[in-house]
Amino acid sequence: MVSLRSAPPRVIPGLSLSLGITLLFVTLVILLPLSGLAWQLAQLDLADYLRIIGSERTLAALRVTVTAAAMATLFNGIFGFIVAWVLVRYRFPGRETLDAVIDLPFALPTAVAGIALVSLYDGSGWMGRLLEPLGIQIAYSWWGIVTAMTFTSFPFAVRALQPAIEELDPDEERAALTLGASGPALFLRVILRPLMPAILTGVGLSFVRSLGEFGAVIFIAGNMPYETEIASLLILIRLDEFDYPAAAAIAGTLLGASLVLLAAINIAQHRMQAYLREAR
Amino acid sequence: MTFDIRNIRKSFEGTEVLKDVSMEIGTGEFVALLGPSGSGKTTLLNIVAGLQHPDSGTLSLDGEDITRLSAGARHFGMVFQSYALFRHMSVAENIGFGLKVMPRGSRPSRRQIAARVEELLEMIELPGLGERYPAQLSGGQRQRVAMARALAINPRLLLMDEPFSALDAQVRQSLRASVRDLQQKIGVAAILVTHDRAEAWALADRIAVMGEGRILQYDRPERLREAPASEAVRVLAADAS
Amino acid sequence: MLRRLLILAALAFTVIVVILPVVSIFHRAFAEGAGAYWTAVSDPETLAAIRLTIVTALIVLPLNTVFGLAAAWAIARFEFPGRRLLLIVIEAPFAVSPVVAGLCFLLIYGAYGPVGAALADYNIQLMFNLTGIVLVSAFITCPFVVREVLPVLQVTGLDEEKAALTLGANGWQMFRHIVLPNVSWGLAYGVILSAARAMGEFGAVSVVSGAIRGQTMTLPLQVELMYNDYNATGAFAAATLLTFLALATLALRGLLHHFGPKRDQAA
């Protein structure tokens, strides 16, 4: 019997070339930079980290970022659901245009979104002129941050929900109605429950995107320390002061929170889908 | 020409799918590998084609050891179960592909390739369809184009993996006859993998009945019926007639 | 009744949140008339920013195309240890927010970072110049091509590639004649998304650009600069250019979607 001494050649060519290019790129462009952050963080001991994060200004920036992101996510959760529902279930003139326009915030550079929003909501803007006499100040306030975050993360909510709504069976809703289900009960049981995994994804992605949003926010935020200063901006300010440890500590916190959230969404989604399959 | 398969063994993740398989194929001979799925027949064909590598054993063609040769260097024509036609190329480009990718020194001229493609289109009775794309063809037509593409490179051996399985019964009958005609006209030895007994009996000079990674019996169809080596082969041969 | 109400709510929200801001850009850009608009667009600094933005994209896109094809090929066609981990790492840039991304590059390749400091001894500077902008843009856009090409490779082409090999094609011929045509739609899609993102990126680029007027200002940075200089017409005029870019991206994407192969229809 003849045995082959070395490993047989692979049939499909290109493993070493493609993997080589991939690993080189991944190392230089992804892994090294991420390890740069890790390296800077590793030089901090816990006390330093807590002192930076626990400082009043950092805490305020984190609070502003998280609360505004939560409010933007709430808006997008509600209106994203309505828009997705309308797009899937109803046929009306302008539906296709509406569908196409949803992706505009994805495609529009964030700096453009930023100056667009401020031009709309400042004292001389169309919305500003309408709202300021009513005593509602959006530009250069916390609500401005919410508006910017809502704009940039809006597509996440809609696009996550659309395919899930398409999979709902309208017959089930009709059947529930004929069985005497009331409106709210129908909505909760037959519509909202099977959509939960998609809602969670849309809302989660929207929130994570909002946490890190920068370009759209800084134009309209006013950027007052303690009041309308977001975490990303504070990172940049610390960088300008060459306070790299502080910049890294805030960035690490932001990145850590995003990663934990993304992982949690993933896990929760799997659990929910498994649960829904069993319930069927 | 003699093609010799010697002591081929192959395992996937600890499961042995080919257990010491040996057989030889003579000049112009049409051989069928017949067996149920999981018998190892497709793995054996892929090893012959150079698309998989055996753990041990040798393949030789007229005494030349080709075990370590790449699929392309073997110069075998292969007809895939899915036909694997290049969907972005016209029928003519599909058939001419093997000639177009030959090294510069031995590559025929563009005109020679076109002439060869025309000739093959005539041979498979699809003249004038060279400009079509695979998606515009019927299943039977695709099968014939796959056949022509494999034959275009003047292969030393023709390999066919369940080439009729995607066709309906009527088309299958008529194509069987034309495949056999074509193979005889060209005089190339052929290996056909099939799970269809009737097909093996209708086409093959010799049939290798495979089961659980071994060749149970390798002989002419009538010998399989007259002198089955085992109960399994006897049942198979009886049903096939 | 409910139906009308919902449609109305959806339209109203989308118009206020998405459409009005975009219309407002054009309103402001042309507030001082078309002449002022053209003067603003042809301002030398703006033109320099346009040039830098295009140069950046022209360097980043080939890099990302080669990387995306290589990574998708390796992951789709081969088994190797760490394959799943590699996919997660490639997706990671989408989870990193812009300023954090820029900071990461500064911390490693900047003058005070371990790699940057070592290179500084050889007089090589990677940050606050075109290299920095290219690197960070490559980071931000690198998942796009892989994301579009990998699923196509996973469901199609393996038999065709094997057929090409049995017919005598070498690796390059197989890639050029079989693989590339098979993934071309997905590749185009990924490249368009990368291009839009690379040209429009603001946060990450602003960290590493150094913001040298007329030299390391990309168009989005130039928008901010002019806006902070109270040059509203200039800022909004530059913004309209980026808006056209976004609209063109969406239009191209729509065209590819319309004319390209449907995802589930693998022949």
What are the pLDDT digits (tens) for A196-222?
999 999 999 999 999 999 999 999 999
Q: How confident is the model at residue A2 (pLDDT cuts 50, 70, 90)?
A: very low
Distance (Å) from the alpha carbon of B161 to chain C's nearest alpha carbon:
12
Residues in chain B: 241
pLDDT at B241: 54
Chain A residues with CB inside 8 Å of C85's CB?
A: none
Please tell me the pTM assigned to this model: 0.91
Q: Specify whether B29 is located in the same domain as B105.
A: no
Domain count of the fold of chain B: 2
Residue contact C164–B101, C-beta within 8 A: yes
Partner A contacted by B51 (CB < 8 A): yes
Q: Write down which residue in B130, B154, B178 finishes a domain.
A: B154
Residue contact B58–A11, C-beta within 8 A: no
Neighbours of B (≥3 Cβ pairs closer than 8 A)? A, C
- Asked if residue B80 is part of any domain, the answer here is no
pLDDT at B17: 94
User: pLDDT, tens digit, for every residue of A218-255?
Assistant: 999 999 999 999 999 999 999 999 999 999 999 999 99
- Asked if residue B44 is part of any domain, the answer here is yes
Q: Are A195 and A165 in contact (CB under 8 A)?
A: yes
Distance (Å) from the alpha carbon of B57 to chain A's nearest alpha carbon:
5
Q: How confident is the model at residue A3 (pLDDT cuts 50, 70, 90)?
A: very low
- Asked if residue B52 is part of any domain, the answer here is yes
Q: Specify whether B2 is located in the same domain as B18.
A: yes
Neighbours of A (≥3 Cβ pairs closer than 8 A)? B, C
Q: Which residues pair with B6 in a beta bridge?
A: B58
Write the residue in B74, B82, B102 that is nearest to C159 by C-beta: B82
Instruction: Kindly tell me if the per-residue pLDDT of C12 is higher than 90.
Output: yes
Q: Specify whether B51 is located in the same domain as B160.
A: yes
- Asked if residue B95 is part of any domain, the answer here is yes
Residue contact B56–A9, C-beta within 8 A: no
User: pLDDT, tens digit, for every residue of C103-122?
Assistant: 999 999 999 899 999 999 99
Instruction: Kindly tell me if the per-residue pLDDT of A6 is higher than 70.
Output: no
pLDDT at B128: 92
Partner A contacted by B60 (CB < 8 A): no
Query: Which of B101, B137, B142, B159 is best to mutate for the C interface (most C CBs within 10 A)?
Result: B101
Minimal-distance CA residue of chain B relative to C180: B88
Q: Specify whether B69 is located in the same domain as B169.
A: yes
Instruction: Kindly tell me if the per-residue pLDDT of C264 is higher than 70.
Output: no
Extents of the domains making up chain A: 47-279
User: pLDDT, tens digit, for every residue of B184-217?
Assistant: 999 999 999 999 999 999 999 999 999 999 999 9
pLDDT at A121: 95
Distance (Å) from the alpha carbon of C87 to chain B's nearest alpha carbon:
24
Strands B206-211 and B214-219 turn out to be antiparallel
Write the residue in C20, C98, C227 that is nearest to A120 by C-beta: C20
Domains of chain C: 45-99+134-259 (1.10.3720.10)
Q: How confident is the model at residue B240 (pLDDT cuts 50, 70, 90)?
A: low
User: pLDDT, tens digit, for every residue of C29-50?
Assistant: 999 999 999 999 999 999 999 9
Residues 95 through 114 of chain B touching chain A, CB cutoff 8 Å: none
Q: Write down which residue in B102, B133, B154 finishes a domain.
A: B154
User: Burial level of C246, CB count in 10 A (0-12/13-18/19+)?
Assistant: buried
User: pLDDT, tens digit, for every residue of A23-51?
Assistant: 999 999 999 999 999 999 999 999 999 99
- Asked if residue B164 is part of any domain, the answer here is yes
Write the residue in A150, A233, A244 that is nearest to C17 by C-beta: A150
Report the alpha-carbon distance of residue C197 to residue C140 in Å, rounded: 8
- Measured in degrees and rounded to the nearest 5, phi and psi for residue B14 equal 90, -15
pLDDT at C211: 77
Q: Specify whether B65 is located in the same domain as B160.
A: yes
Q: Quote the percentage of chain A above a pLDDT of 90.
A: 77
Q: How confident is the model at residue B174 (pLDDT cuts 50, 70, 90)?
A: confident
Report the alpha-carbon distance of residue A151 to residue A143 in Å, rounded: 12
Q: Domain span at residue B205? A: 1-75+156-241
Q: What is the mean pLDDT of chain A?
A: 91
Q: Specify whether B232 is located in the same domain as B170.
A: yes
Strands B30-34 and B190-194 turn out to be parallel
CATH number where B204 lies: 3.40.50.300
Instruction: Give the ipTM.
Output: 0.93
pLDDT at A273: 83
Q: Are B56 and A2 in contact (CB under 8 A)?
A: yes
User: pLDDT, tens digit, for every residue of A131-186?
Assistant: 999 999 999 999 999 999 999 999 999 999 999 999 988 888 888 878 877 777 77
Residue contact A125–C24, C-beta within 8 A: yes
Residue contact C169–B87, C-beta within 8 A: no
pLDDT at C266: 37
pLDDT at B170: 86
Looking at domain A47-279, which of 3.30.360.10, 1.10.287.540, 1.10.3720.10, 3.90.1150.10 is its CATH number? 1.10.3720.10
